[in-house]
Chain A
Amino acid sequence: MISAKPLSPFVAGMLVCLAWLAWSAALSTSQGRGPQPEGQRYGPTTPGGYYVRVQPRALTMAHNQQPQLTVAVEDAAGHPVEDVLVTFTPSEGTFTTGSSRTRGGTVVGTFVVSPGSDNPRTAFLVAAVENVEVTIFIDIVPVVFQR
């Protein structure tokens, strides 16, 4: 016969703490890997035959924030491709990058909206690799909404 014995508060507390530690360690490990673009990939491009991913694909921001976006270029097998030109066309504001060509398979840039309005609106940024264009929709909301 198996008798049900309740966990003591001490053991229960230990379990909770261990779970918390495990989560923290997992997060720390994942943070150390840097941005890992995920989601749908677009392509292949012509003539290079590359595939393109964008991270994040959905972006909501206040007008005074300056979010980073990453474009990753990879081959058919998913390996990063170096020195591929990526161009960006924002509907408003600016998008600045350290390099317009991929380093480590990615180009990372910062988006800054046009000055002068916190009116809610949707801006877009078109990232182009050869003949493939990917649109990133950027929802700009008033700071107090914080959506």
Chain B
Amino acid sequence: MITGKTYFIVVLCLVCGLLVSQAWCQSLSLFPKEEILLVGGDFRIRSITSNIAGADLLGGGESGGFPTQDGATKAFFDTRLRLYWDFRPSDLLRVHYRMEIGDVRYGGGNENGSDVTGNLVPVIGPGSGGGVGADGVNVETKNMFVEFAMPFVPGLSFRGGIFGYGDRYDFNILADDFAGFQLLYQRGDVAAHFVYFKFFEGATRDNADDSDWFGIDGQLQISATTRAAATFYYWLDQEHKGTLGFTPYQYWFGGKVTSLLASKYGPIEINGYGIYNHGEGYFGRRHGSNSGFNFSLSGDMSLNFGILGLQIQYITGAKGSKVQLEGGSKDQKSINSWLSYYNNMYQGPEIISRGPIIDVGDGFNSKWGTGNGFFNGDYNGRLFLIARSSFPVLSTVSLHVVGAYDRAAASNANGNYNRGVEFDVWAQWNILPKLWFRFGGGYYLTGDWWKNNTDASFTGRGPGVPHPDNVWQFGTRLQYDFG
């Protein structure tokens, strides 16, 4: 019989033996600290000047994003430093920590602004909490997770902790500080993952939420030049249970095909996707259900003088105003609206979507849909046509020109469809390796859809303005990436 002391010694020896054998198996010494630590990050200075309506407390944590009449110009710049430490004792294991100092913000034409997630922050200095020169209260943990290869199943790995997530359609961007875990599989022609997040937990923000997010995504290389992918997401929104008497939910499933076609002029990158969205009790604002489709098809041709691209996107919508669709007699009814998060177009327009110039949601797309955002066209849906181009004018400078037509899929309460037309021009200058500067602007000619539209206000229920301004925005971004 083994005594307790003997048992303890045996277990201790086994643990020590395991540690040594692990290190031996991976051909590593036990404590090569200087070899396993990777450090990197980026620093940026960014400026925005615009006449887009600024944030307002009535907006419920939003950063503006619609035309006003004779609106004031707002201007501010901000700085941000991101640092990361990656501990990689072997190719099979890593522990990652990423922190952010900022965004520390200076200036602004309104009393309050917002950060990139739409949370209200005082304009002068504090960023996400601290004043300029104050002690480190504007420091934030962005990522903190462990990742390792799972035993027995080659190609399978596990990640757990705090990390961000973005889907392949650029709609559900769950950046970047939610706790969860992820199982990833990649082998041969197949890549897939399952992800779970518990996000918005707790009352750390004014718009704190309590939700569970599940996602599964897979892709298969179906030929030498084409891959296909399928995705399913499910969102359980406990926080907005409220007086609904049930837990609101949304789910999305979609498919995407990416292909590279050959032509006599040059290769054409084709991207096409379709997503179906269904839910009930969206954000606690409606009792009824919603269902919507989102289709997109794009082609970008690489020529010897640059890249030319076209994209068409259609998002289903319902006729009427927010007030009509969210309350009153239609409260229990189903609507055919696509309800989701951002509509990112990183090769597209800056104001309508979340574009490339300043890379932040400071245009119409800056909302989360709980307020008066016009992301995805809002409840009226969207028909979207984009023409884009990119030209390398110098070895270190490229010029980008974009045009976009924005139309509602269904009319607003006034019977109007036409939202507007946007033009964007921006340039990228790679000053030094990893140091780059991007600058440019966008101009949006507002259409009739905005006139006297109750949706186009901070509350989403205001009277709207009869003669909305055309919207413009100019941005700069200087960034150094290191590591």
Please encode chain A, from 1 to 45, with 1 for each CB lying within 8 Å of some chain B CB and 0 for all others: 000000001100110010011011101101100000011101000
B190, B359, B481: most-surrounded residue (chain A CB, <10 A): B481
Residues of A within 8 A of B95 (CB): none
Q: What residues on B are CB-neighbors of A21 within 8 Å?
A: 18, 21
A14 to B481, CA, bound (A): 48
**Which residue of chain B is the closest to A117 with respect to CB atoms?**
B356
B residues 74-90 near A (Cβ < 8 Å) are 82, 84
Is B242 close to A, CB under 8 A? Answer: no
Among B343-387, those with CB < 8 Å from A are 344, 346-347, 356, 359
A116 within 8 A of B: yes
B189 at the interface (CB under 8 A from A): yes
Question: A139 interface residue, CB < 8 Å from B?
Answer: yes
Which residue of chain B is the closest to A133 with respect to CB atoms? B224
A119 CB-CB contact with B under 8 Å: yes
In the bound complex, residues from chain B placing their C-beta under 8 Å from that of A77 are none
Contacts of B7 in A (CB 8 A): 9-10
Residues B163 and A146 in contact, CB atoms below 8 Å apart: yes
Decide if A98 is an interface residue (CB 8 Å cutoff). no
- How many angstroms between the C-alpha atoms of A17 and B176 in the bound complex? 37
Main secondary structure of the interface of A (DSSP, over half): mixed
Does B11 belong to the interface (CB within 8 Å)? yes
| Cα distance A55–B170 in the bound complex, in angstroms | 26
Chain A residues with CB under 8 Å of B194's CB are none
**Chain A residue nearest to B22 in the complex (CB):** A24
| Structural contact, A121 and B346, CB atoms closer than 8 A | yes
Q: Mark A57-100, 1 if CB is under 8 A from B, else 0.
A: 11010011000000000000000000000000001000000000
Query: How many A-B contacts are there with CB distance less than 8 Å?
Result: 141
Q: Is the CB of B84 within 8 A of A24?
A: no
Given contacts A57-B221, A134-B224, contact A20 B18 (CB under 8 A): yes
Q: In the bound complex, do residue B269 and residue A91 qualify as a contact, i.e. CB atoms below 8 Å apart?
A: yes
Residues on A with C-beta less than 8 A from B142 are 144
**Cα distance, A142 to B189, chains bound together (Å):** 23
Query: In the docked arrangement, what's the CA distance between A40 and B220, Å?
Result: 11
What CA separation (Å) do A31 and B91 show in the bound complex? 10
Instruction: Determine if B11 and A144 form an interchain contact, defined as CB atoms under 8 angstroms apart.
Output: no
Q: How many whole Å from A107's CB to the nearest CB in chain B?
A: 17
Interchain CB contact under 8 A, B26 and A40: no
Q: Does the CB pair B346–A146 fall under 8 Å? A: no
Asked if B165 CB lies within 8 Å of chain A CBs, one says yes
Query: Quick check: A58 and B481 within 8 Å, CB to CB?
Result: no
Complex contacts, A115 vs chain B, CB 8 Å: 430, 433-434, 436, 481
Q: List 20 contacting pairs A-B, 8 Å CB cutoff, sorted by A.
A: A10-B11, A17-B17, A27-B149, A28-B27, A38-B188, A39-B189, A42-B224, A57-B191, A57-B221, A64-B481, A115-B481, A118-B42, A121-B347, A137-B227, A137-B258, A144-B98, A145-B166, A146-B143, A146-B159, A147-B193
Chain B contact residues, CB within 8 Å of chain A: 2, 7, 10-11, 14, 17-18, 21-22, 25-27, 40, 42, 82, 84, 91-92, 96, 98, 142-143, 145, 149, 151-152, 154, 159, 163-166, 168, 170, 173, 175-176, 186-191, 193, 219, 221, 224-227, 258, 260, 262, 267, 269, 271, 302, 344, 346-347, 356, 359, 428, 430, 433-434, 436, 438, 479, 481, 483
Interfacial residues, chain A to chain B (CB-CB below 8 A): 9-10, 13-14, 17, 20-21, 23-25, 27-28, 30-31, 38-40, 42, 56-58, 60, 63-64, 91, 115-122, 124, 126, 132-135, 137, 139, 141-147
